[in-house]
Each structure stands twice: as C-alpha cells, then as structure tokens.
Amino acid sequence: AQKITQTQPGMFVQEKEAVTLDCTYDTSDQSYGLFWYKQPSSGEMIFLIYQGSYDEQNATEGRYSLNFQKARKSANLVISASQLGDSAMYFCAMREGGYNKLIFGAGTRLAVHP
C-alpha cells in the first residue's frame, strides 16, 4: 500500500486565491512527522512546513498552513493568497516513528495563473 498519496497530479489556481493540496498517509505508528516540500522548475527542494503527530495545533508558516486531520490521516497543504512564484511541484512526505528516512508522495504540480 502507498504510504503517502497525493491524488492531484496537477492543480490550477488564480493568483491571490487560496489553494489546498491534498495528502493522505498510511502508518500504524503513533509517532510520526509530516512534511511538505516545494520543487520549482529550477529543481531544488525547498522545505515548507512540518507537522508532528502529537502536535495539537495545525502548523503554519507564513502563507502556508497544514490542515492536519489525524483521524482521517490527512495532511493537506493550504497556500493562501497564491503568487505566481508558487508555481511548482509540491511533495508531501512522512517520517515514521523509529525511522529517519522520508517517504515521499508522487507530488502535485501547481500552476498559478495571473
């Protein structure tokens, strides 16, 4: 079974609107971490936001917030007030309890239109 599922291969959003990128995960561990990374067309991987499984509050970093629904095993990324520079691939990743490696989803390509 897929550990990380990103069901939206591509998304479009109008500049200045908010957009939600979906991520569901599968783990039986109680302790885990969820991450979002951005990969622009230039290729680098940029860390955006982190949510720990025991964190009660949803993580926020500037225009990025993580909508964490533990019972549903979802960790959706919300980008508010989209900008043209937000056009990129977005990857959801999970680190399970005793393991240090990140397991990545297939990614969602976001295009922001003016």
Partner 1 sequence: DAGVIQSPRHEVTEMGQEVTLRCKPISGHDYLFWYRQTMMRGLELLIYFNNNVPIDDSGMPEDRFSAKMPNASFSTLKIQPSEPRDSAVYFCASSFTSNQPQHFGDGTRLSIL
Residues contacting residue 99 through CB under 8 Å, at least 6 positions apart: none
3-state secondary structure of 84: helix
Does 107 engage in binding with partner 1 (CB under 8 A)? yes
Does 11 engage in binding with partner 1 (CB under 8 A)? no
Binding mask of the shown chain, residues 73 to 102, with x at each position contacting partner 1 by CB under 8 A = ------------------x-x-x---xxxx
Q: Binding partner 1 by CB under 8 A: which of 19, 23, 25, 37?
A: 37
Does 45 engage in binding with partner 1 (CB under 8 A)? yes
Q: Binding partner 1 by CB under 8 A: which of 12, 47, 80, 113?
A: 47
Residues contacting residue 58 through CB under 8 Å, at least 6 positions apart: 51, 65, 66, 67, 68
Intra-chain end-to-end CA distance of the chain, in Å = 38
